[in-house]
């Protein structure tokens, strides 16, 4: 179960590894917390499209359905309203979040529908964002909060009564998509290939934090599904410019420079070996072989 804040997040974080697991027969459910109603239209070719402007939320639901089809995942909505990303005005004043938005919903109220889904779908692995939301968008931070709360509560029969039979996932991971080692490898690959690097400015402003080095715990080989990842992201046409330089880096070069999608193991109720994992189901699959055929079938 991959818990994301907005439609398109599932395609920019963990998409290739999700597609790989689907190809292996794993059931993957993407949970989208909000409809992305307050997102900007970032594709210049759609910025003035009447169909988009008439109902952005409906348009983004259609995009989400197409992306899910490309990746082969199941997808559902929690139904909360996008909080938007408040920006300071010229005086440095940040406006308040809009009333009723996802970020302002009380924690247990926001967590209850996710607990219900966990108990219904019965995933063995959850993926979500770290305590900073991956980046400090209010909806990403809230997604982290409800994911952690649901992981701890879903297996407890005394919590959230009436939302189904308790079910305890075995592991929880944070997406570690844009970490420095990966960006450096991709940037250096661009320089070697004579390509204008989309990572140069990003790295120039990078702020190193001592704790970041220990975050990388898991690398899932999924280079064969990078095309599916990009096609799913392009399906979110309002959110990405298909002619942008992010898609100008040759696929073979990407595979050679960094063939994995990366994660931080944040919670585990199964034994964890030393070194870098290469499978989100490490420590879980052996139980599937000995105890239950179901345990390899949901993520």
Q: Is the model's pLDDT at 287 over the cut of 50?
A: no
Q: Is the model's pLDDT at 81 over the cut of 50?
A: yes
Q: What is the mean pLDDT of residues 53-67?
A: 95
Entry pTM: 0.93
* pLDDT tens digits along 115-152: 999 999 999 999 999 999 988 999 999 999 999 999 99
Average pLDDT score over the chain: 92
Q: Is the model's pLDDT at 212 over the cut of 60?
A: yes
For every residue of 39-79, DSSP letters joined together read -----GGGTT-HHHHH-HHHHHHHHHHHHHHHHT-EEEEEE
Q: Is the model's pLDDT at 289 over the cut of 50?
A: no
Q: Is the model's pLDDT at 192 over the cut of 80?
A: yes
Give the full edge-to-edge strand order of the sheet including 218-221: 74-80, 29-34, 2-4, 125-128, 171-175, 260-268, 218-221
* Token reading at 139: 């909806």
pLDDT of res. 210: 81
pLDDT of res. 232: 98
| Binding-site residue positions | 6, 9, 140
- Taking the C-alpha atoms of residue 42 and residue 47, their distance in angstroms, rounded to an integer, is 7
Q: What is the mean pLDDT of residues 281-289?
A: 72
pLDDT of res. 286: 60
Please check whether residue 240 is in contact with residue 45, taking contact to mean a CB–CB distance below 8 angstroms. no
pLDDT of res. 290: 33
* pLDDT tens digits along 155-166: 999 999 999 999
- Taking the C-alpha atoms of residue 25 and residue 117, their distance in angstroms, rounded to an integer, is 20
291 vs 205: which has the higher pLDDT: 205
- Domains recognised in the chain with CATH numbers: 2-177+262-296 (3.40.50.10320)
* pLDDT tens digits along 227-277: 999 999 999 999 999 888 778 889 999 999 999 999 999 999 999 989 999
Identify the sign of the CA torsion 15, 100, 160, 79.
negative
| Binding-site residue positions for Zn(2+) | 6, 9, 140
Q: Is the model's pLDDT at 198 over the cut of 70?
A: yes
pLDDT of res. 94: 85
């Amino acid at each position: 179960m991959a818990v994301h804040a907005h439609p398109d997040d599932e395609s920019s974080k963990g998409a290739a590894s999700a597609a790989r697991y689907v190809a292996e027969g794993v059931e993957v459910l993407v949970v989208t917390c909000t409809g992305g109603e307050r997102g900007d239209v970032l594709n210049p070719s759609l910025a003035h499209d009447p169909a988009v402007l008439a109902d952005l939320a409906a348009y983004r639901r259609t995009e989400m359905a197409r992306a899910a089809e490309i990746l082969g995942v199941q997808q559902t909505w929690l139904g909360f309203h996008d909080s938007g990303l408040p920006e300071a005005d010229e005086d440095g004043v940040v406006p308040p979040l809009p009333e009723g938005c996802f970020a302002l919903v009380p924690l247990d109220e926001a967590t209850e529908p996710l607990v219900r889904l966990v108990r219904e779908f019965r995933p063995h692995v959850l993926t979500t964002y770290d305590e900073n939301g991956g980046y400090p968008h209010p909806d990403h931070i809230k997604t982290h909060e409800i994911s952690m709360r649901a992981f701890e509560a879903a297996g407890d029969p005394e919590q959230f009564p009436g939302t189904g039979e308790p079910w305890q996932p075995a592991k929880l991971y944070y997406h570690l998509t844009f970490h420095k080692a990966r960006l450096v490898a991709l940037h250096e690959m661009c320089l070697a290939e004579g390509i204008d690097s989309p990572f140069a400015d990003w790295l120039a402003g990078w702020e190193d934090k001592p704790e970041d080095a220990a975050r990388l715990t898991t690398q899932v080989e999924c280079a064969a599904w990078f095309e599916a990842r990009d096609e799913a992201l392009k399906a979110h046409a309002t959110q990405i410019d298909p002619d942008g330089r992010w898609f100008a880096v040759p696929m073979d070069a990407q595979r050679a420079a960094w063939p994995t999608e990366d994660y931080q193991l944040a919670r585990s109720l199964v034994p964890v070996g030393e070194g870098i994992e290469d499978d989100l189901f490490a420590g879980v699959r052996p139980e599937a072989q000995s105890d239950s055929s179901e345990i390899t079938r949901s993520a």
